[in-house]
Amino acid sequence: MKTKFLLGAVATAATLLASGSALAQSAGSIVVYGGAAQISPQVESGDLTAPSLAGTKVDVKKASSFVGGITYYWTDNISIDLPIALPFKHDVIGAGAIDGVGKLGTVKSLPVTLLAQYRFGDASSTFRPFVGAGVTYGYFFKPKATAVLSGITGGTPTVPTTLSMKSRLGTTLELGAAYNVTKDWSASLSFTKTFIKTTGSLSTGQTIETTLDPVSIKFGVGYRF
């Protein structure tokens, strides 16, 4: 009796999962998700303007943070995604002629992105790859310089060199896939490439143009309302 009951329960659960996922990504659905993301800048640095050692460049290291967001399904195949993340904290290190000097400072970033996505398959598909494109506003804030930066730019303990990074607008491309676990729960994994540049400025009056073009990976678990 117990064996028949277990087999029946398993069969019922399988049927519910198969039928329940049919409308998990249909027109009018709103999915709220949470997870984590890592941003890895693909840096191409210009030279720090004079007075500085020729070939003075910078690199910006990768950072991770918690991320959430809201996805609205305009149609069964077209969705609008608004990721919402906590700030990412990046180390800025020396490169080029000053490679090896260590950390020059830190800066926090908060990418504000809006994506239009196209999802392959139909609303009844359990596994749905998707592509996306949109815009990103890279907001950089709370920069902190180190004594190393002051040392190579003429700063002193009483008048240290400070830095800032200009916030900019860029474009973003996305490739990912979603897996519908049940009618309401899903998991997704996506990769994005953002094309964005920034200008770093020092209190000494020197500037440096830097292409960031980060690659990001994001994993999230979502619930449909």
With cut-offs at 50, 70 and 90, classify the pLDDT of residue 124: confident
With cut-offs at 50, 70 and 90, classify the pLDDT of residue 11: very low
Tokens coding 143 = 């920069």
Q: What pLDDT, on a 0 to 100 scale, did the predictor assign at position 24?
A: 63
Q: How far apart are CA 31 and CA 208, in angstroms?
A: 41
Residue of 26 and 193 predicted with greater confidence: 193
Q: How far apart are CA 210 and CA 191, in angstroms?
A: 22
Residue of 50 and 214 predicted with greater confidence: 214
Q: Kind of pairing, strands 30-40 and 215-224?
A: antiparallel
Q: What pLDDT, on a 0 to 100 scale, did the predictor assign at position 80?
A: 97
Domain count, the chain: 1
Q: How far apart are CA 73 and CA 23, in angstroms?
A: 11
Q: What pLDDT, on a 0 to 100 scale, did the predictor assign at position 10?
A: 38
Q: How far apart are CA 64 and CA 142, in angstroms?
A: 17
Residue 5 in this model has a pLDDT that exceeds 50:
no
Average pLDDT, the chain: 89
With cut-offs at 50, 70 and 90, classify the pLDDT of residue 13: very low
Per-residue pLDDT averaged across 206-210, rounded?
A: 96
Q: Minimum mean pLDDT among 19-33, 142-156, 157-171, 198-212: which range? A: 19-33
Residue 14 in this model has a pLDDT that exceeds 50:
no
Q: How far apart are CA 18 and CA 22, in angstroms?
A: 7
Cis previous bond, 51, omega within 30: yes
Residue 1 in this model has a pLDDT that exceeds 70:
no
Q: What pLDDT, on a 0 to 100 scale, did the predictor assign at position 23?
A: 56
Q: Minimum mean pLDDT among 16-20, 71-75, 125-129, 171-175: which range? A: 16-20
> Is-contact 101 51, C-beta < 8 A?
no
Q: What pLDDT, on a 0 to 100 scale, did the predictor assign at position 205?
A: 93
- How many C-beta neighbours within 10 Å does residue 107 have? 23
With cut-offs at 50, 70 and 90, classify the pLDDT of residue 52: confident
CA distances from 88 to 62, 65, 138, 171 (A): 9, 6, 11, 19
Domain span including residue 119: 2-224
CATH number of the domain encompassing residue 20: 2.40.160.20
Per-residue pLDDT averaged across 37-63, rounded?
A: 94
